Structure 1
Amino acid sequence: MYTTEFKLRVVKAYHDKGLSLSQCCLTYKILSISTLFSWVRQYKQSGVNGLNNSPGRPRTITKKTTFKRTYGPLTRLEEFERENLYLRAENEILKKLEALAQQEQQEAAQGKKRDCL
């Protein structure tokens, strides 16, 4: 959870320095542009008081929750995981393409049998 002072610093950097939302997120290591966008909107509507941490449902993180890094270079492990995910998806696509080609061949063979009868 971010402090009010941190939120104010980021929002002021966004306004004063003319940075884009994505540049601010990279600079201040904020994971989501929508988070920063909501801070800017709250600041415009209510000023500094809008940035105060409001009580609400606390965010829970489970072991299954993973965060996608949107800043900085990837580690070797992250690069391998990304490549592995890509190769798995590519493999699934090739399997489906092969199954579709076989199905078309079977339908073409059945069409020839019908023409002969």
Structure 2
Amino acid sequence: MEAIDRVLINHEVGRSVALDLGLSSEGMLFNWIRDYRKNGYNVIDKPIGRPRKKIITKHNQKKIKPEDKKIKELEEELLYLRAENAYLKALRELAIKDQKKQK
């Protein structure tokens, strides 16, 4: 918080603040400032270590509505048909080129 205040309030140069505090780079300080602004000008301490895996249970599992399932199926089918259409167009163009070469 001291480093952030020195840059934002006292208008000190980030490089000099980073050197005074012994940070490995001034980029670290600017990351802190970016996170500070993103969090509504609050310092949030991140927990140390790997984040815990979320355990999926019946209570916190997303329920998929039948309409959503149907929409997803239709989107997948549309994607497949578009790919098939592009393939057939390319195949037709190759056949036309082959016919022109034979003439």
From the CA coordinates, give the structure whose radius of gyration is larger.
Answer: 2
Higher normalized helix content (fraction of residues) = 1
Q: Which structure's relative contact order is higher, taking Cα pairs within 8 Å and 6+ residues apart?
A: 1
TM-score normalised to structure 2 length? 0.44
